[in-house]
Structure 1
Amino acid sequence: MNRFLLSLVVLTACDAHAADWPTWRGVERDGLSEESGLLKEWPEGGPKKVWTSKDAGLGYSSFSVVGDRLYTMGADEKQEYVIALDATSGKKLWQTSVGKRLENGWGPGPRCTPTVAGDLVVALGGEGGLYCVSAADGAKKWSVELTELGGKVPNWGYSESPLVDGDRVLCTPGGDNGTVAAFDLKTGKKIWQSADMTEKAHYSSIVPVDHYGQHQYIQLTQNKVFGLDNDGKRQWQADWPLGRTAVIPTPIYDNGYVYVTSGYGAGCMLVQVGEDNSVKQLYDNKVMKNHHGGTIKVGDYIYGHSDGPGWICQEMLSGEMVWNEKSKLGKGAVAFADGMLYCVEENSGTCVLIEANPGGWIEHGRFTLEPQTDQRSPKGKVWSHPVIANGKLYLRDQEIICCYDVKQ
């Protein structure tokens, strides 16, 4: 049973279900929340705002939410921090430095979303400092510098969100010593580095999958998409000849199919990975050219913003465009909860609720994030991805975080 059908079963079993969002793009790193009982229509002006915090610092990090705590990252004039807020009030509870502030023309500060694993939080600074801290008070447990593993800071800084998978942490230092590295969650000791994959790091985050009974880690770089086994050994790879400049969106995996996309005119590709790890390319085309707002698979369809045609619905297996909408909302990021897509425009901060529906753009409300920062770089935009967790919607513009009640 695929995840979409399973979610329908869950929805019929209970009237409402709250869910944590413990890492980048949610539990399965696919942008899908498992919540139900959320508003299907927003009032004029949007859902009720619960709180506003202006204490997050600079940066483009999104959020992890577990119980009554929200975790993110931000920067002051010199340092970057992993930060914990009270998710019910927005009050800052603690912050812990993860190294010096990344300086970048598109805006300084961190890009990573922290990952929560029980009583620990793992976060990656823009300059490559990988830190594990206590979820309770931010006390440092261990740290590793990715640049000491053969990696080089990418042009826009280290931007992936580290994966915690059981008792290990995975991230992508890149370089000749190995693209991906795994560390012991409790100690930070390196377990392995992928010696047979030596691509340089880009900006995508690793996805853990169960592939025909094999546990694998899928990652996308500028020129390759590949799967590694539990020991970091390459199981398969496919060329991504379209990748250029910056490859950012997280891959999507479903029953042996791997879908990737990137912007700068690149496009999208679907490959089928067999039980024996053989690879067959099914298509590459220009229907979806997603820069960094992410794509969502719901049922048989991919939703997201494509440079050129605007917001689109694409049939995943064929690669064909089902519909597009360019006039009602500009480029931005997307997340899914309870049958609906939450789309945030990067230029204006407008957030729109639409149906995840192959029938077309069906809108159910909009509002504009307010207040917005006056500290953002002139080249920067509202780039932090939206999060829906435990009946709340969280949006960010640099140091400003806003929380909205989206429960029915």
Structure 2
Amino acid sequence: MHRALTTILQPLASLCTDKFPRLVVLLAALLSAEIAQGGDWPGILGPNRDGVGVDEKLADRWPAAGPKARWTKPLGSGYAGVSVQANRVIAFHRVEGVERIEALDFATGNSLWKADFEANYRGGIDSDLGPRCVPVISGNMVVALGAAGDLYAVSLDTGKKLWSQSLFADLGADEGYFGAGSTPIVVGDTVLVNVGARNAGIVGLELKTGVIRYKTSSFEASYASPITWQVQQKPQVIFVTRLDTVLVDPASGKYQNITEFGRSGPTVNAAMPLVIKDQLFLTASYGIGAKLLKLSVTSSGAVEAKPLWEADDVLSSQYATPVHFDGFLYGTHGREDGAAGELRCVDLATGKVRWKQANFGIAHVIRADDKLLFLTADGRLLLVQATPEKFTLLSAVDLLAPKGSPPAEPQEIAVMASGRATEGTRPLPALARGTLFIRTHSSRPQTSLSAYEVAP
């Protein structure tokens, strides 16, 4: 967006340098402000589903108390992170007997509209009743998948209900260990969902109407959300399902197997795949491990995957997706319900661990330029330099520290994984225009969403 504004304003500035100096100052201010603001965060892991804040800039350091909180908004239950477009922050949460899609004002957190749908999820291994999927913004629509596998669509402007589909119930899908947790993806005018039902493993629906266009395969559902990859200049969708990774044509539903990935038993695939040019990185815990594949396409359009490396002692992530920067992966290795996870930097080409930080815990990560924001499941926020040389901590804060307690030193915060499973910040964060949105999780049916100023 800022590039478009820059294109419009810069020629105007060049025309009025002498006669209208005040206008020049105003235009310069607009240009610099827009460039500093970055863009939107329309869905899970940002605009490209890779954890990168496009055009975002982060401060070099924070005060000891951490970045300033602009506002905090009480929400209901669930693990769903938010999406952001223009002045709207879209939250998805459960309030008593309804799953609520709610638009909040970017600047104030005030509610702009609410759309409520009957909540049908009764719970699983986790006592939290959801929802778990990040809402998806596409054009003037918001699409969200509830914990029981109910798919909703509303207007981004007004919250008007447009359509809904009880996908899991109508197609006979299993809710799994934790309910539905694979965020849908919109490609063109099609919504794709990993439903996991027999003969309806992956389902494509018309975005405007919710009408089912196709049902394909019997791949079981995972908790990993799909991404796109260009094949012969056409977007295709990569799904990491329960036991397989597949490539799906969003127009027809036709699919190709890429690789087996997963294992039977009490396991899940939850971290999202990463595509780096022609390479595909996959990661999971539970003894599954990580692997890097080189993808190629034949003249007939068939996709071939060549294994480059595979290991379970490099970067095996339970559910947090790492980020890539300049040939290196940054993310956490291990499980939240096991020994404290480690933060690691891994050479993408070789699978070699360049450095690791023990007792770090499990954390989501967002990259902005050459800096990394890590949000641990137990409520710690850390600003780290993205470098393969060594772990370089810039700032850190314990967001859930008791009120009135003196702030801990950053290096202490980096190794104080507490395993606060019942109270923490497990939902995915979002970064838009210099503002970091962090939602808490709780054993009670109340959570909160806070907006933090993290720009320079």
TM-score, length-normalised on structure 2? 0.80
* Alpha-carbon distance change, 97 to 130 in structure 1, aligned in 2, over 3 angstroms: same
Aligned to 1:395: 438
Residue 75 of structure 1, CA deviation:
0.8
Aligned to 1:352: 382
SS at match of 2:230: strand
Larger deviation, residues 95-104 vs 28-37: 95-104
Matches within 5 A, 1:8-407: 16-54=36-74, 56-100=75-119, 102=121, 103-106=123-126, 107-147=128-168, 148-194=170-216, 197-229=217-249, 230-242=251-263, 245-276=267-298, 277-286=303-312, 287-307=314-334, 310-327=342-359, 329-347=360-378, 349-370=379-400, 379=422, 381-398=424-441, 399-407=447-455
Residue 243 of structure 1, CA deviation:
7.0
- Residue by residue over 1:17-71, the C-alpha shift from the partner in whole angstroms, topping out at 9 and shown as x without a partner, is 51100011111100101133431211211111111111x2111110101111101
Residue 235 of structure 1, CA deviation:
2.8
Residue 370 of structure 1, CA deviation:
4.5
Larger deviation, residues 146-155 vs 110-119: 146-155
Name the amino acid aligned to 1:358. P
- Aligned CA RMSD, in angstroms, stands at 2.0
Tell me how far apart the structure 2 counterparts of residues 299 and 335 of structure 1 sit (CA, whole Å): 15
Aligned to 1:5: none
Name the amino acid aligned to 2:111. K
Larger deviation, residues 63-72 vs 100-109: 100-109
SS at match of 1:357: coil
Tell me how far apart the structure 1 counterparts of residues 358 and 390 of structure 2 sit (CA, whole Å): 12
Residue 378 of structure 1, CA deviation:
6.3
Name the amino acid aligned to 2:426. W
In terms of fraction of residues, the more helix-rich structure is 2
Higher Rg of the two aligned structures: 2
Tell me how far apart the structure 2 counterparts of residues 64 and 182 of structure 1 sit (CA, whole Å): 22
How many residues are paired up? 386
Q: Structure 1 residue runs of 4+, over 6 Å off?
A: none
Name the amino acid aligned to 2:274. I
* Alpha-carbon distance change, 42 to 144 in structure 1, aligned in 2, over 3 angstroms: same
* Contact 2:150-2:165 at 8 Å conserved across structures: yes
* Contact 1:98-1:124 at 8 Å conserved across structures: no
Q: Percent identity?
A: 28
SS at match of 1:274: strand
* Alpha-carbon distance change, 241 to 283 in structure 1, aligned in 2, over 3 angstroms: farther
* Contact 2:400-2:424 at 8 Å conserved across structures: no
Residue 149 of structure 1, CA deviation:
2.6
TM-score, length-normalised on structure 1? 0.90
* Contact 1:249-1:292 at 8 Å conserved across structures: yes
Q: Show structure 2 runs of 5+ residues with no match.
A: 1-33, 403-419, 442-446
Tell me how far apart the structure 1 counterparts of residues 115 and 37 of structure 2 sit (CA, whole Å): 32
